[in-house]
């Protein structure tokens, strides 16, 4: 049976892992490569790197980072953050990443998803969608959560899956960094609507939160701070999930 996946997420700035709360207040969590290696040995199923470096040298530092990460881990990883063209995608995949995630660029140019899926295959294209509950429902945010769009959460997710994204990484901005659990309502609606794997993100604080998300139909659960500061060990989490009847790779 296909196992449910546990995915540590590394928000990277200038090669260092940082983690914020509700998308702000970053604090340093160490070297990205060292942390990646640790997660590989602890049994992570996959890793996600979101590069938030803003410098002009960004592309070069990102390629170096991907090459270094690829040389120490033997599990798949996704890279996202500022990827906005087929050339960017090609650079990232050729450096050793398995998938790329598109967020702001996909909203601004939805055709990029279909072009990328056609060239690299859907399995390499992850649509990252940041949502926030507003008075008129869930809205999609871009530019690292700074800018609200007109797009409604569920319909945008449906659209990206139709355009060819092979996976949806859904992050609840309301939940991110709060450790109050994933946005179960949204996830359970999303998995009914789309036919691609869904990665739940934002809000993990306890082992039970992962169980809730998997029971709601998530294919994978992502968490950052919880793992970075060793509040929860991946093995301990997986053993718990296994005991609760969730199929995991032990």
Partner 1 sequence: MIAIIDYGAGNTASVINVLKDLKADFVLSGDKEIISSADKIILPGVGEASSAMNILNELYLIDVIKNFSKPFLGICLGMQLLCRKTEEGDADCLNIIPVDVKKFNLQKTKVPHMGWNQIELVNNNFLFNGIDDKSYFYFAHSYYVAENEFTTSVCKYGINFSSSIRYENFYGVQFHPEKSAEQGIQIIKNFLSL
Longest C-alpha distance within the chain, in Å?
48
- Among 97, 154, 157, 204, which residue sits at the site for partner 1 (rule: CB under 8 A)? 97
Dist. CA 21–CA 27, nearest whole Å: 9
Place of tokens 């390499």: 124
Shortest distance, position 145 Cβ to partner 1, whole Å: 26
- Among 23, 39, 120, 156, which residue sits at the site for partner 1 (rule: CB under 8 A)? 120
Dist. CA 26–CA 144, nearest whole Å: 13
DSSP annotation of 4 reads P
- Among 3, 26, 86, 193, which residue sits at the site for partner 1 (rule: CB under 8 A)? 3
Crossing angle of helices 58-72 and 86-94, in 10° steps, is: 30
Residue 45 a catalytic site member: no
Residue 130 a catalytic site member: yes
Hey, which residues between 156 and 215 contact partner 1 (CB under 8 A)? 166-167, 195-197
Question: Among candidates 133, 59, 146, which has minimal Cα distance to 103?
Answer: 146
Hey, which residues between 51 and 70 contact partner 1 (CB under 8 A)? 67, 70
List alpha helices for 216-248, DSSP H: 225-228, 234-243
Catalytic residue among 45, 51, 130, 219: 130
Shortest distance, position 220 Cβ to partner 1, whole Å: 7
Beta carbon nearer to partner 1, 141 or 227: 227
Residues that bind partner 1 (CB under 8 A): 1-3, 5, 40, 45-46, 67, 70-71, 74-76, 93-99, 118-124, 166-167, 195-197, 219-220, 249
């Amino acid at each position: 049976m296909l196992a449910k996946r546990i995915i540590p997420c590394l928000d990277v700035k200038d090669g260092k892992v940082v983690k914020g709360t509700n998308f702000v207040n970053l604090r340093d969590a160490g070297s990205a490569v060292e942390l990646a290696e640790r997660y590989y040995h602890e049994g992570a199923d996959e890793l996600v790197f979101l590069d938030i470096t803003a410098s002009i040298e960004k592309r070069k530092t990102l390629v170096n980072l991907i090459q270094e990460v690829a040389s120490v881990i033997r599990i798949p990883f996704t890279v996202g953050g500022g990827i906005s063209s087929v050339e960017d995608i090609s650079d990232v995949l050729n450096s050793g990443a398995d998938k790329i995630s598109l967020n702001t660029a996909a909203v601004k140019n939805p055709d990029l998803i279909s072009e990328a899926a056609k060239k690299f295959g859907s399995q390499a294209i992850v649509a990252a969608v940041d949502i926030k509950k507003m008075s008129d429902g869930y809205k999609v945010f871009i530019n690292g959560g700074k800018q609200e769009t007109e797009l409604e959460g569920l319909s945008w997710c449906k659209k990206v899956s139709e355009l060819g994204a092979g996976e949806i990484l859904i992050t609840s901005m309301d939940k991110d960094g709060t450790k109050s659990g994933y946005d179960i309502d949204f996830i359970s609606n999303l998995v009914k609507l789309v036919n691609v794997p869904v990665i739940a993100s934002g809000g993990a604080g306890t082992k039970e939160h992962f169980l809730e998300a998997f029971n709601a139909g998530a294919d994978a659960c992502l968490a950052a701070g919880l793992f970075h500061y060793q509040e929860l060990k991946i093995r301990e989490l997986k053993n718990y999930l296994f005991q609760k009847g969730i199929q995991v790779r032990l």
